[in-house]
Structure 1
């Protein structure tokens, strides 16, 4: 009798805080048909990236479940919108404290799905309290009604109001699954909307935990709904029933979302891809540039929309810059590891599937003549989705990495001779999300920044300074997106601007029996008078 040997599967290495009971409680928050229901979809196996082990089952929503989520959120939104803003903000005062208190658990859940380092996971957990804190300070000013002048002083007035749109669809990515899911939802909620959130299946646990914390802080039951599933399966229903869509992801998918929103005549905000450049001028302090470049390129293993993929270095310092960058990348690779502590400084990619995409870009460049100075290899000895920090030179336009977003720990370095050449090369892309300029001369760096085509431009930093400035909008130009998050616009986009005009006396109506040419002369004289006196 023959026997078949069964090899044990990988074993998860979860922190003690992450229990089966916690995971089961979080997945129960998903609006989906019960697993024992006749119409239930197969659950999604949630994987611990470090080991490839399954840690739980994520229910998958059907289109009918998405409709049910909207129905629940709309019912709760009517009450929520009636609350005074002060009462809504009190919920987020409590949420801020809960989020800070639970940052370690948030970091655990982020790491399970993403495989990023502990430092990056903790820093990501801090993004949401920062956004909450900003809008706690500014929401009253931004959302209050504003009295404007009417067309005829004294006799008319106009008042601008900002009313919630209704229920907002938030489609969040896997690379910063907690920060983006919650930081995009918070201003929508503060403005008085309900939210239906679709996190990525791979990284849903941390987003679900954030939703649970907001509910504990006092959000009305049903207001914040979560649906899970693949985009093609539930995306159309999600968008068709929304009053506004906030999407973060690839440019290709962003076009689909934007087209769907347009057909429904609803607004959308899209943060999409990038091929972000860095310019290093000859006077730059390399002692500062190299650590900045390492973080700008390799933070989160290169899986950040705003991370640097192209570096242009003045020819006078190019060789020295390259030598130092290669050494720093080599040192970084030595710290690669899979752990829920602060020992590793370089983490995993999100999945073996994404690793294959990153590796394909590097292999294509290598095959076409690029030089791999460091990295360029997967590290299955550490985990199933680890890939080395990689520095390329001799990259030419026919290579995929030259123009396409690799979204991994890979950077190409090029020499340049003068500023205008560097600016031209930096702008030579269909994307325009982020750019970086390094120089001791801030005026010179500022002049160059003024010519770069990007929604965020950082001087003597890779991307953190602009993104962490919650008072200023963050978004892309060209093919990198539409709209922005953060700042006043990041709150107002979730509202409809309403104009209430009041005419105290009928001064705008045509006078009965008066010839129109006389009315016209009076109107034109009035316009000239108001301009001379600056009344209007």
Structure 2
């Protein structure tokens, strides 16, 4: 998809980390034992697997997102069907092949890749055939059923089949709000379970007491990393008026230092790779043009790098727009950063919360009162509420997800396993009497 080498390696490490985390978490899956109001009765919760979990992942994290879901789904006893983004099938195949090699090498069959419905060239047909042969051998040795982990590649029709299939008890979708809304309605129409991880129009708030030496690298990392194609990318920088001019100049200077390091993502010196495809470049151009047409000033960037072969653009900073301008409120998956001034923290929080999404947010301040206000009920309305760190860079141990049009789902975190299981309330009568509700009695 165009990630630089360091980000690609980091994503694989995320997969390893969530497997390690899920393995440890599997030892603490539990339900409550509750005090019963009735004498001689026990009341408790029982958690059981859902059955089949469908995972539809996005192009921007083609390895890690599957891992977040797959690891937890497996340790909770489910089978998984994975439908990756149609533009990143090779990564999906590579991940599946790696799992097969792992299984064969250690003779362990908790993770077993199954059928592969690959609509891509003869190579994938041959790989599919090899997959079945390997699985057949491994399953025979371990007396386990097939298809615990299945890979299905294709376009939207393949995803639709997965979404509408009643045998798929939970659908986990990572992608745009527009597509997520459709998938959510379709799954809910058949009373299935849905886990949505959708868009984010994330903001960093810089208070007047913030350490700007921390703010500058945090902003650059979160705004231009992965060429602005993370769901946690910083798209809005909300700065106290007393430090606005100083910070803007420093961020512009930092952006300029990276211009020579835009290019081939496989080169070690590259910091910023390309956008995903030509459609993404077109959306970038349209958005920049709209920002200018509605009164915005391009402080830096705003151009497509036509001299480079590929979908390269300059990371862009735009000032002068109202914070509620339509182009600002709309998430654009590209490295475009809008900068605004504020007078009071209450005003800044209001700006942070006025967008439709609620994924990630960050406040830079050294005032402890501001910190707790920011994290409290009158603070950020996002699922991720940071202080003095960027909007990007979540840890496996914390629940990842957001509110509003981000979808409300949570991946990873201490209790995320519950989404992959069904809860039963169990009452056991171990007495010789049968007390009925409402005190009703009859012979």
CA contact (8 A) 1:471 1:486 kept: yes
Aligned to 1:235: 159
User: Which residue, 67, 72, 77 being the options, matches 1:192?
Assistant: 77
2:364 counterpart of 1:438? yes
Does the CA contact (< 8 Å) of 2:298 and 2:316 recur in 1? yes
Quote the residue 1:148 is aligned against: 34
Q: CA deviation at 1:272?
A: 0.9
Which structure 2 residue ranges, 5 or more long, are not aligned?
A: 104-108, 113-134, 136-146
1:132-174 Cα shifts (integer Å, max 9, x gaps):
11122221112x4554333325x11123222111111100000
Asked if 1:426 corresponds to 2:313, the answer is no
Q: Name the CA distance, whole Å, in 2 between partners of 1:324 and 1:226.
A: 46
Whether contact under 8 Å (1:182, 1:210) holds in the other structure is no
Cα 1:399/1:361, change in 2 over 3 Å = farther
Offset at residue 344 of structure 1 (A): 0.5
Runs of 4+ in 1 over 4 A off after TM superposition: 397-400
TM-score normalised by the chain length of structure 1:
0.71
1:119 partnered with 2:6: yes
Q: What is the distance in 2 between the residues matched to 1:483 and 1:314?
A: 32
2:415 aligned with 1:484, yes or no? no
Aligned residue among 28, 46, 49 for 1:164: 49
Are the counterparts in 1 of residues 233 and 392 from structure 2 also a CA contact under 8 Å? no
Moved more, 498-507 or 213-222: 213-222
Deviation sequence 1:288-308 (CA, Å, 0-9, x none) = 110001011111111011111
- 1:348 and 2:274 are equivalent in the alignment: yes
Partner of 1:534: none
> How far apart, in 2, do the equivalents of 1:404 and 1:150 lie?
51
Cα pair 1:116 1:349 within 8 Å, conserved: no
Match of 1:180 among 59, 62, 65: 65
Question: What's the CA shift string for 1:159-207, capped at 9, x where partnerless?
Answer: 3222111111100000111111222221111111111111011112122
Contact kept in structure 2, 1:173 and 1:200, CA below 8 Å: yes
2:324 & 2:408 partners in 1: Cα distance? 28
State the alpha-carbon separation in 2 of the partners of residues 146 and 430 from structure 1.
36
Distance 1:254 1:457 in 2: 23
- Structure 1 segment 366-385 matched on structure 2, within 5 A: 366-385=292-311
Preserved CA contact (<8 Å) 2:203 2:391: no
TM-aligned CA deviation for residue 263 of structure 1? 1.2
How far does the alpha carbon of each residue in 1:94-140 deviate from its partner, in whole angstroms, 9 at most, with x for none? xxxxxxxxxxxxxxxxxxxx111111111111111111111222211
Q: Equivalences for 1:427-506 in 2 at 5 Å?
A: 427-450=353-376, 451-464=379-392, 467-468=394-395, 470-506=396-432
Alignment map for 1:27-426 (pairs within 5 Å): 114-142=1-29, 144=30, 146-153=32-39, 155-215=40-100, 216-217=102-103, 218=109, 219-220=111-112, 221=135, 222-231=147-156, 233-241=157-165, 242-396=168-322, 399-426=325-352
* Alignment root-mean-square deviation, CA: 2.0
Q: Distance in 2 between matches of 1:431 and 1:140?
A: 35
Normalised by the length of structure 2, the TM-score is 0.85
Give the secondary structure class of the aligned counterpart of 1:498: strand
SS where residue 299 of structure 2 aligns? strand
1:507 Cα deviation (Å)?
A: 4.0
Asked whether the equivalents of residues 5 and 266 of structure 2 are also in contact (C-alpha less than 8 Å), the reply is yes
Higher helix share: 1
* Residue-pair matches, total: 397
| Residue aligned with 1:482, SS | coil
Change (3 A) 1:458 1:335: same
Secondary structure, counterpart of 2:311 in structure 1: coil
CA contact (8 A) 2:323 2:351 kept: no
How far has the Cα of 1:458 moved from its partner? Answer: 1.0
> Structure 1 residues 161, 341: CA separation in 2 closer, same or farther (over 3 Å shift)?
farther
What secondary structure sits across from 1:300 in the alignment?
helix
Q: Deviations over 1:279-331 (max 9, x none)?
A: 00001111111000101111111101111111110011000000001111111
> For the pair shown, which has the larger CA radius of gyration, 1 or 2?
1
Classify 1:407/1:193 alpha carbon distance in 2 versus 1 (closer, same or farther; 3 Å): same
> How many Å separate the matches in 2 of 1:251 and 1:508?
51
1:508, CA displacement in angstroms?
4.3
The more displaced of 156-165 and 443-452 is: 443-452
